[in-house]
Amino acid sequence: MKQFKNYRIYFAALILILGCESSLEEEVKTFYTEDTFYQTEQDAKLAINGIYGHLGATFDETLNSKGLYFANYWTANALLSDEGETSFNRGDGYNQLSAMAHTPENTIALEIWSNLYLGLNAANMAIINIPDVDMDEGTKDDLLGEAHFLRGLLYFELVRFFGEVPLQLEPQKVFTSSAFQGRAEISEVYAQIFADLTMAENSLPTEQTGLDNGRPTSWSAKAYMAKAALQHGEDLQLAKTKLEEIMSSGRFGLWEDYADVFKIANNNGKEVLFAISFLEGTDLFTTLWEGGHLVYRTLPGGVYGGRPNGGGLEIPTMSLYNSFDDEDRRKEITFMTQDMINGELVEFDTPHIVKYWDREAEPLVNNTANDLQLIRYADILLMYAEVLNEQNNGSTPAALDAINQVRKRARFADGVERNVLPDLSTMGYEAFKEAILEERKKELTWEGHRWFDLVRFGKLEEKVTEAKPGVPVAARHNLLPIPQRERDINQNLTQNSGY
C-alpha cells in the first residue's frame, strides 16, 4: 500500500525558490526567509518535501505546478525516440520533439531545464541549512541523505538531457554573479552525481516504513549509482558491484505477472527501487491535487462511466506495437486497441498506451494516483546483462539468466505459461547487445528510458529512422538544446552542437 504521500507543500517550495528578502514594503507575517525558516525538525522535513514540488505536481486555487515527472520526462523520452509520436498537430513543443524539429526555443526543453534547476536550488538550500538545525541527529542524517539523493538524481537527469550544464552546489539568488555560471564538463557533473549518491547510500536507511514508505533508501542510491555509471560508461565495475548488491540482497524481485507491476496496490512493492508518487491528500496547510498524467495523456478520448477520460495526446508508433509477439503478456498490458465505451465495443484507429491504468482501483479515469516507477527490478536485471556483455564481449551464463528472468515473466498470464519468448542462449557481443536493447524496449515501454537507452547504445538515428521514416533525426538529437531564454539571461552558457 502506498504510504509516502510525497506532499509537494507548495508554499514551502516557493520559500525555497525565493531564498531572499521580499521587496514588498508591507510586512507579510506568513512568509519565511531562509534565515527564519530552518529552526525546527519540522522545518527541515518541510524543506525536503519542498524539493518534491518540482518533481511531481501540486495544485490549489492559486497554484498549478507541473514538475519534471508530471508529464515532460516520460513524454519527451517517448517522442524523442522510436517509441512515440503526437496524435495530432497541436503546433506545440511536443509536436516539435516528435518531429525532431525542436530548436533552442522549444518550450518543453525550457520546462525540463527550469524544473531541474528549481529542484536543485531547493536541494542545495536543504543541504546548506539542515546541518545547523537543532534536531535528532539520526533524523538529520536521513534528511540530508535524502537531499543528497535528490540532488544526485536531478543532476543525472540534467546531464542526460543537456550534457554539459552549470554545476551549482550552493543556493542561487536571482541577479547575483554566482547564478551566471558556465557549463561544467560532463565528467565533473558525473563526479558530483556519484559523490551525492555515495553520501545518500551511506546515510539513508535500508528500508522506509509507515508514512515514510516510498521515500528513497540506500538501495535507491545504489540503483542510481549503477544506472549513472552505465550511462556514463566510465566505470562499469561500479555498476556491476552495485547491481550485484541489489540482486543478492533478497529484498527485490519480479511480480509473477506483468499485469501486477502497475497495480496501485503494488506501488512501493518488491519490484520498486524508487518511484515518484502521485495522489490526492491533505497536509498541514492545504489540500493538494497531485494526480499524474500517466493515464490522461495516453488513453484515447472517450467516455467511461459517464465521465470524459483520456486526452489521447501521444500515441505509440506502429513500429513499437508491431515489435511485440501477440502472445507476449506485455503487449496486452501495455496497449489498448479497443474497449467498451458506453456499452459498445469501440475499435481505435491506433493503439494507445494503457499500462498505467488500474481499472479496478480507478474505473473512472482522468488523472491517476499510480506511481511513475523510475527504477524497478526488471531494469536492474537488464542493466546487469548489459554490463556483463560490455565486460565480457558477449553473453555469460549470469547475463543470460538475468535477461531470461525478464523474458520468463513475460510468458506468464494469470499463472499460465505461454509458448512464447524462449530463453536466450549463448550469443556474441553485437547480437546480445541488440537483444538487450530489444528487451528493454518491450519491458520498459513508456517508462522514461527509451531515448536515453538509444543514445547509450548508439542507436538513436537508426531506430528512429526505422520507426518514423522522414523524421530528420541527427547526431545533435542525442541531447536537447540549451534553452535560448537561459542563454539570453546567462551569457556564459554555450549551446550544444548542431543547434
Q: Three cell numbers at 249? A: 540482497
Give me the pLDDT at residue 468, please. Answer: 98
State the SS3 of 384-421.
HHHHHHHHHCECCHHHHHHHHHHHHHHHEECCEECCCC
Q: Which residues of the chain have pLDDT under 70?
A: 1-35, 57-65, 173-178, 279-290, 302-309, 365-366
Whose cell is 513543443? That residue is 93
pTM of the model: 0.92
**Per-residue pLDDT at 288:** 41
Report the Cα 395 to chain-centroid distance in Å: 29
Please report the pLDDT score of residue 14 as a whole number.
41
Neighbours of 42 (CB within 10 A): 11
Confidence at residue 5, expressed as pLDDT on a 0 to 100 scale: 45
pLDDT value, residue 381: 99
What is the helix (H) or strand (E) element at residue 382, kind and residue range? helix 377-392
**Contact assessment for residue 205 and residue 133, using Cβ atoms and an 8 Å cutoff:** no
Closest to 192 in 3D by CA, of 124, 245, 278: 124
Instruction: Give residue 97's pLDDT.
Output: 98
**pLDDT at residue number 418:** 97
pLDDT score of 310: 79
Nearest to 244 by CA among 375, 396, 392, 402: 402
pLDDT value for 33: 57
Neighbour tally for 383: CB within 10 Å? 25
The 8-class DSSP code of residue 335 comes to E
Task: Provide the β-strand partners of residue 84.
Answer: 316
Query: Residue 455's Cα: distance from chain center in Å?
Result: 16
| 111, containing H or E segment | helix 107-129
Using only C-alpha atoms, what is the Rg of the chain?
22
For residue 35, what pLDDT is reported? 65
pLDDT at position 180: 86
Distance CA 247, CA 239 (A): 12
Residues 487 and 493 sit within 8 Å (Cβ to Cβ): yes
DSSP summary character for residue 374: E
Q: Which of 96, 113, 77, 74 is nearest to 453 (CA)?
A: 77
Question: Does residue 490 come out as left (phi exceeding 0), alpha (psi in the -120 to 50 range) or beta?
Answer: beta
**Which pLDDT value is given to residue 306?**
54
pLDDT value at residue 290: 58
Query: Cβ distance 40 to 133 under 8 Å?
Result: yes
Cell of 462: 537508426
The DSSP H or E segment spanning 488 is: helix 484-489
CA 214 to chain centre: 15
